[in-house]
Amino acid sequence: MARGLLAALAGLVALAGASFAAAQPVPTLAKLAPVKPVIDCAALVSADVSDAVGAKTTITSAKLSGSGDKAFCAVQGVIAPKIRFELRLPTNGWTQRYLQVGCGGLCGVLNVRTEHADGCTPVKDGAIALASTDMGHEGKGGMAAMGDGTFGADPQLRIDFAYRGVHLTSVASKALIARFYGQAPRYSYFSGCSDGGREALMEAQRFPGDFDGIAAGAPAMVFTVQNSFYHAWQAASNTGPDGKSVLIASRLPILHAAALASCDAVDGLKDGQIDDPRACRFDPVVVQCKPGQASDACLTAAEVETARKLYDGPRDAAGKPFTLGQPQVGSELSWAGVFVPRSVDQVPGSWGMAEQPVKYLLSPTNPPANYGLADFKFTAEQFEGLKAMHPLYDATETDLSPFAAKGGKLILWHGWSDPHISPLNTIAYHNGVVAQMGQAKADAMMRLFVFPGLYHCFGGDGLSQFDIVSPLMAWVEAGQAPNAVIAAKVDLPAMPMGPTPAGADVRQTPMPDASAFKPSRVRPVYAYPQVAAYKGSGSTDAPESFAPKTPASEPAARDAYAAQFIAPRFHQDCRVEAGVLACVPSIKP
């Protein structure tokens, strides 16, 4: 899905929240007395929290916003050198909780927005302190700035994007909360998706004391590989010798229908949903045009070969894959606007998603100005070059013992139909943590949920609507480990796909009538590796018709180059010396 439309789609999905609320388990949260401010909102402009933050922190504004019970004090500030942040402090009924939300893409924008928290009472009631950050740089082009990597020319801004901006925002926010209410938050949470998921994991790994509970959705945790080998391959594979795109969006329904016909019933229930694509073997050749057949109902040989490449991913000369995973069977409709454009003359969106990081972020020293994605090579030597920045950007540390020791709880989640980041990445990380810490210790602090039909963070033709924040709070505050999440399929009207035009602001996108969004399916999604198995009777669109089932075996993971990046104790802490990065191994807290 186009990155610029995520915020708009999140709003659309939220409209249907109440219609499946009855199926949701009631979370038990701590009974925390509401706390009133002890100073005026405007007084925070003069608050100096620099000592607490460990860097010069300037409050640029503090003013009342909202109304009634949902009124809040909106505080904006800058942490040196350029980390902008915003903190929203309820002026009525703050329930001693703090939630920091992540930023997507390459960030560069300041936008406080909760996601998959529709049924969370403290969020819904405006009773929680909220914050977010632009991660240390201001991108060009409004919301399109989230794909701008030029900030990488400044090594300090690389550090701030990698981990410093999110961490110091949490420190500054807590210090301001203490000033405003006269006490620190009782519970602190982080929730983010995409790069926000990477930020979430980076917090658990590098700063285990920042948050009590963390939700990491579709995490771009293998940042160095995701933004090079993955998206570069997807773009190149859908570009023909003439420079035009081979496979376009209008052809995807043909491929998707063939995928469903081949794989839908593999899980034992033919319901238009593929519960675990790894159980299916799909070859798009089944939909290749026969001699004399009109191509409006089939794919050309070139289109079939392109689809195969997109599913399979980049490999070295010996056939070893570079990526941990690729788009899964059943995700085809989500490819539109990512690596499959609307017309043959459009450049696949994946091109820019890889070119900006490759040019500005993924090498210790940026390549020449005339370097482009066409110069990127799918070789072992090219992969070796990623290792220099892996300790800075990647959030794949498998030893979460410090986070667990502080009582931290982590929920990982991903969509099986994600085109941007393969869910196999998150499964590989989950399994890496289990291998490192042992099953019992991992289960005590971590859960993974993989949602059939969910695209990247939001939307999809499957189970795309759910509340992930409430189960996280119930686990932290009441010890209720989440073994299932109730999710809904929401039939959304068609929305425009493709890159967001420079300068466009998706927050101005008109919202269709709320009555259009009625869930057509409500089901449980069980903690990995369990799956929802039909009991044999009752509606297949109702959660009570399903029970958890543990598969007989775990499908083998890809023996990929990127697997070496999922490991313990590889992070480095960096600073700038003489204008260049100087990094040393991190010391565990």
pLDDT of residue 295: 83
Tokens of 450: 């993989």
The DSSP symbol for 395 reads: -
Mean pLDDT of 508-525: 63
Q: In a 3-state reduction of DSSP, which class is residue 414?
A: strand
Q: How far is CA 589 from CA 209, 405, 542, 571, in A?
A: 9, 11, 46, 13
- For a pLDDT cut of 70, what percent of the chain falls above it? 90
pLDDT of residue 24: 60
pLDDT of residue 144: 55
**Least confident segment among 373-387, 470-484, 501-515:** 501-515
Mean pLDDT of 447-453: 98
Task: Please choose, from the candidates 495, 194, 234, the residue with its C-alpha nearest in 3D space to the C-alpha of residue 355.
Answer: 234
Q: Is the pLDDT of residue 384 over 70?
A: yes
Q: How many Cα atoms are found within 13 Å in the side-chain-facing hemisphere of 405?
A: 11
Q: How far is CA 335 from CA 253, 342, 377, 556, in A?
A: 11, 10, 23, 25
Q: How far is CA 180 from CA 11, 44, 413, 504, 513, in A?
A: 30, 7, 34, 36, 39
Q: Is the pLDDT of residue 509 over 80?
A: no
| pTM of the complete model | 0.93
Give the CA-trace dihedral at 96, 98, 99, 102, to 10 degrees. 180
* pLDDT tens-digit readout, 124-133: 999 999 999 9
Average pLDDT over all residues of the chain: 91
Using a 10 angstrom Cβ sphere, with 0-12 exposed, 13-18 middle and 19 or more buried, the burial of residue 12 is buried
Q: Which residue has the tokens 């001693």?
A: 96
Task: Please choose, from the candidates 393, 431, 484, 438, the residue with its C-alpha nearest in 3D space to the C-alpha of residue 202.
Answer: 393
> Are 390 and 565 contacting, i.e. CB atoms less than 8 angstroms apart?
yes
pLDDT of residue 147: 87
Tokens of 206: 């590098």
DSSP-derived pairing of the beta strands 409-415 and 446-451: parallel
**Least confident segment among 244-248, 254-258, 366-370, 573-577:** 366-370
**Structure-model confidence comparison of residues 427 and 141, the more confident one:** 427
pLDDT of residue 524: 97
Mean pLDDT of 500-504: 37
pLDDT of residue 465: 95
* Cα–Cα dist 548/538, whole Å: 16
pLDDT of residue 145: 59
pLDDT of residue 69: 86
Q: Is the pLDDT of residue 143 over 50?
A: no
Task: Please choose, from the candidates 323, 309, 564, the residue with its C-alpha nearest in 3D space to the C-alpha of residue 422.
Answer: 323
* pLDDT tens-digit readout, 239-287: 999 999 999 999 999 999 999 999 999 999 999 999 999 999 999 999 9
Q: Is the pLDDT of residue 495 over 50?
A: no
Q: How far is CA 198 from CA 9, 37, 107, 160, 571, in A?
A: 21, 33, 12, 14, 14
Q: Is the pLDDT of residue 21 over 90?
A: no
Angle (CA) 158 160 164, round 5°: 135
